[in-house]
Chains A and B, each alone.
Chain A
């Protein structure tokens, strides 16, 4: 067998760059860019002055504050528990592990309105959990805690599913080496494991945060929707649509879009910084 006989073949599975990239960009344009562009244009139509007035009105500010606060708390919850769940799923063997792994994706598959209704039923004053909380004087449903709960539910898979593969790829010999050098478990986690999964962890948390900002279906059922108190930004956009005020809706949607874009850019920068840091080490 001489190597001259081997045919010259492209190593790529898909056909050439032009076709692959062209298809990708066309698809991206139709499905994502054009709708986003329409939103931006609609927002631009109203002019910077009116845009600012809509966005800085007390009601919009209150809605944004509720949304961002709830999304932040939900993200902290998810960061902690998401990491824990990923850890348990990767590092241990136990009966029912497969089932638990599958359950992790339920929030992706379930219609968010169904999630919102179920959570409301469970946590309302006469629900399974709600009755105990209620007797302790804790009200979840129709308060900001309800909003946080719904956002936590819909965004937890983001953290689990981004951390999980990185943890799986982590070379166990590194930890063993650390152990032979006398490091305690906690030190191993803090100095060896955590830095390695940090980029994925941050990326997952950022996407979970972005998703929470835009969540609508699950939240409106549990939020109480009182203006200035428990009204979320996407509901306010919806309300503007009901008033046939397309410009007002677009302005609020644009703010959410800008938030999301900033978050995604931050997430990317963090990941790049983290990987450079790792390589340098």
Chain B
């Protein structure tokens, strides 16, 4: 049977609904492991944008190590928005004049629509009985995480262990350094990024505990279901912001400021937060967070500002060449 008039009507409907001129376009430059997350989020935003403005939007994604991505943008990658896992990488863009200096105030919650914390993933039944950061320094335990020098993820691991050391020893710097030094010395292999460390742990069967963002541990446990990995939340961990920012210089040039800003604001809506929570991120929306309380155990969360006095200080004291990280990491 043939219904030519029906097909014509369908074509007319489709054409009428999407005027060719109103095509918006965003390039979201993001960190490595967020690929699947944004693949899931973006269609939701596209239909939200269509509802709100009647316009179509295409969202291109670019993923890689957060610092590498920041360098690429400095060197000309035409990003409209960045969704990173390191505040310092956005600061670098702000220093380069691409992002406004006060980017942290541009969106709620320090421009971090979702957050996470360094957490543990152990083998089935937790045979080594790993509960907290101390256990990672035990002689019979091999922790696996990437090189803190090349991976933002591992930088958080280092800082979280350090913060725990301070918390437990009443702020004694020397004892905290002793703890992270022992933990780093127990790591059998330093991959350059989080995904490679996951492979080392899950596929090469190396190590007893994988330390990575809690959001990651959930995803990995799901992906490697047969191996029956168990998630362990330490007693103290570090608030890890997942900051977002408008790359104003590029967005203004591309004429995408409106849609880009709306994209980042939309990440705070219950619709987006639900997707984020389903991907094991902790979210800022109270109702959505309450719904997922069962999979996000209580933990004493400390922030970079409280413990270390902000990222600028961390960069100078810990991460710079010859800093505390080098001292405990290189002089093993």
A contact residues vs B (CB 8 Å cutoff): 58-59, 120-121, 124-127, 141-142, 220-221, 224-228, 235, 238-245, 248
Contacts and interface: CB of A to CB of B under 8 A. Distances in A.
B192 interface: yes
A98 B152 CA distance: 48
A228 B332 contact: yes
B192 A243 contact: no
A271 to B, nearest CB: 38
Nearest to B193: A220
A221 B196 contact: yes
Contacts of B206: 124-125
Contacts of B77: none
A121 B203 contact: yes
Contact of B149 (A125, A126, A243): A243
A238 B71 CA distance: 12
Interface of B: 65, 67-68, 71, 92, 147, 149-150, 187-192, 196, 203-206, 319-321, 326, 329-332
B92 to A, nearest CB: 7
A238 B150 contact: yes
23 contacts: A121-B203, A124-B205, A125-B205, A142-B189, A220-B192, A224-B190, A225-B189, A226-B187, A226-B190, A226-B332, A228-B330, A228-B332, A235-B192, A239-B147, A239-B149, A239-B150, A241-B71, A242-B68, A242-B149, A242-B150, A243-B319, A243-B321, A244-B71
A225 B190 CA distance: 5
Nearest to A143: B189
B93 to A, nearest CB: 12
A124 B204 contact: yes
Contacts of A239: 147, 149-150
Nearest to B192: A220
Given A120-B204, A126-B204, A245-B321, A227 B330 contact: yes
A242 B68 CA distance: 7
A224 B189 contact: yes
Nearest to B92: A244
A275 to B, nearest CB: 44
B151 to A, nearest CB: 8
Contacts of B192: 220, 225, 235, 238
B175 to A, nearest CB: 23
Contacts of A221: 191, 196
Contacts of B68: 242
Q: Which one of B65, B147, B189 has the highest number of Cβ atoms from chain A below 10 Å of its Cβ?
A: B189
A59 B330 contact: yes
Contacts of A240: 321
Contacts of A227: 329-330, 332
A120 B203 CA distance: 11
A242 B189 contact: no
Contacts of B319: 243
Contacts of A243: 149, 319-321
Nearest to A244: B92
Nearest to A248: B321
Interface centre among A226, A241, A245 (most CB of B within 10 A): A226
Nearest to A221: B196
A142 B332 CA distance: 17
A274 B224 CA distance: 59
| Most B CB within 10 A of own CB, among A126, A142, A245 | A142
A230 B181 CA distance: 18
B205 A126 contact: yes
